[in-house]
A and B are shown apart, each in its own frame.
Chain A
Amino acid sequence: MDFRGPLALILQLLSRSKIAVRDISLSLIIDQYLEWLDREAERSLDITSEFAAMASHLMFIKSKTLLGEERPEELEELISTLERIRATDVYLQIKSVLPILADAYFEGAGLITKLPEYFPDSARRYEHAADDLISAYEAIMFRTVSPDELLTNVKRGYPHPILFPIDEKIGQITALLRRNGSVLLRELFFECGERSERVAAFIAVLELCASGAVSLDDDGFTIYAADLGETFDGD
């Protein structure tokens, strides 16, 4: 069945009903469709027959739906065809206004703005009524979370600072590589005492890889000494 002409009509009916293609209500569309056919039946036999065929197809889909199929294959096909047609319509509509927008862009490009002025003393000063201050004081006094607990909660949200020096970790890794030639990444991280040391080890490996001193094996689990030179002597 050639869906193209009749489907454009359905799209129009859908847009009148302000509903999305996916929410298509066949009974609503069929009602509108039949109403349109009643009015237009005498205009052109060719058009009427084409649209009558479409209406019968819709009836067929509706019947299958009523007989228990949740979403008949024909309905999915109809919906995807409708969406494709609608997308094409939108694209053509957009294409038609592009020259106007291109001119507007050219015009708007002449409007040059400046950055906000810098105010060194930008501290805000607040004024509060006495009642506000009392309410705030009461809210603090009667809150259920203690200040210590609150502080702990706040601190928990922040990452710990890196305390372990990365240079030191680079030195340790290069010394290890000089001894063994290669080392498993898992071992490298497993031996780290705390989180900051693990972070330092990770960054150190990245640095060494970036400088070409070490290389990552094809298996992705081992690093080996490539060109440690004298600069990576562990000092």
Chain B
Amino acid sequence: MEIKAAIEGILFASGDPVDVSRIAAVLGVTRGEAESAALELAHDMRQSGRGVRVVRIENALQMCSAPELADVIRTTLESGKPPKLSPQALEVLSVVAYFQPVTRAYIEQVRGVDASNTLRMLQTRGLVERCGHLNVVGRPSLYATTDAFLRTFALESLSELPPLAGSPVAPDGSADDQITIDGDFPV
């Protein structure tokens, strides 16, 4: 059986992300072989200008439409554009993405305002999910991003998030006042 074709068929039928290990087990190949075949498939689709793409989300693969066809598809299916994320929602989502798992209190400490409604909205849209409880008094919920978050932001994994400035900004916010220790650690 052609592995690439099998992967294409599985991903088409699934719709949802499918773990590479599962595909490898079903096809009777090693994980490495399945990954190579998936990579080749994704490359072929891109090179030949196909209308669908294979994207990688952490350890899973998912089939989706080519991004350049989004407008045509939405017009044909009379589907509206995806709702925009407000700057506030993007802030909350970013704090969760970079510091997950985090509590609501942490998000509010960073932003200085209530985040409960925004968190609820992000959960409804499947971008954030509860992933457990912090083992302190009150056992507050911990939040993390979902696979849908990665796909929505065109990321393969969280490691692809744009790096945060490694150095804390001077407390008064002015870069001119920064002092460097050992030449590497601006404070």
Q: Are B162 and A101 in contact (CB under 8 A)?
A: yes
Given A107-B154, A112-B64, also A94-B53 (CB < 8 A): no
Q: Are B67 and A110 in contact (CB under 8 A)?
A: yes
Size of the A side of the interface (Cβ < 8 Å), in residues, is 43
Q: Which residues of A contact B (CB under 8 A)?
A: 4-5, 7-9, 11-12, 15-16, 36, 40, 47, 83, 85-98, 100-102, 104-105, 107-117
Q: Are B70 and A110 in contact (CB under 8 A)?
A: yes
CA distance A7 to B177 in the complex (A): 14
Closest 8 CB pairs of A and B: A110-B67, A110-B70, A108-B154, A89-B168, A111-B64, A116-B15, A93-B164, A112-B65
B residues 108-163 in Cβ contact with A at 8 Å: 109-112, 151-155, 161-162
Binds A, one of B19-27, B33-41, B84-92: B84-92
Q: Are B110 and A4 in contact (CB under 8 A)?
A: no
A56 to chain B, nearest CB (A): 19
Which chain A positions have C-beta within 8 A of B16?
113, 116
CA distance A77 to B96 in the complex (A): 27
Could you pull out 14 A-B pairs where Cβ atoms are within 8 angstroms?
A: A4-B171, A5-B170, A12-B185, A16-B185, A83-B109, A93-B164, A93-B169, A104-B153, A105-B153, A108-B153, A110-B69, A111-B67, A111-B151, A117-B15
Instruction: Give A6's nearest chain B residue, CB to CB.
Output: B187
- How many pairs, one residue from A and one from B, have CB atoms within 8 Å of each other in the complex? 131
Q: Are B168 and A105 in contact (CB under 8 A)?
A: no
A47 to chain B, nearest CB (A): 7
Which chain B positions have C-beta within 8 A of A8?
168, 170-171, 187
Q: How large, as a class, is the contact surface on chain B?
A: 35 or more
A186 to chain B, nearest CB (A): 34
CA distance A7 to B87 in the complex (A): 30
Q: Which residues of B contact A (CB under 8 A)?
A: 13-16, 53, 55, 62-70, 73-74, 81-82, 85, 87, 90-91, 93-95, 98-99, 109-112, 151-155, 161-162, 164-165, 168-173, 177, 179, 181, 185, 187
- Majority-rule SS of A interface residues: helix
Q: Are B70 and A112 in contact (CB under 8 A)?
A: yes
CA distance A7 to B168 in the complex (A): 11
Q: Are B181 and A12 in contact (CB under 8 A)?
A: yes
B144 to chain A, nearest CB (A): 16
Given A11-B187, A111-B67, also A94-B95 (CB < 8 A): yes
Which chain B positions have C-beta within 8 A of A90?
95, 99, 110
Which chain A positions have C-beta within 8 A of B164?
93-94, 96-97
Instruction: Give B71's nearest chain A residue, CB to CB.
Output: A110
Which chain B positions have C-beta within 8 A of A102?
85, 90
Instruction: Give B171's nearest chain A residue, CB to CB.
Output: A4
B122 to chain A, nearest CB (A): 12
B58 to chain A, nearest CB (A): 15
Q: Are B181 and A108 in contact (CB under 8 A)?
A: no
Which chain A positions have C-beta within 8 A of B14?
116-117
B1 to chain A, nearest CB (A): 19
Q: Are A98 and B91 in contact (CB under 8 A)?
A: yes
Instruction: Give A89's nearest chain B residue, CB to CB.
Output: B168
Q: Are A111 and B53 in contact (CB under 8 A)?
A: yes
Which chain B positions have C-beta within 8 A of A110?
65-70
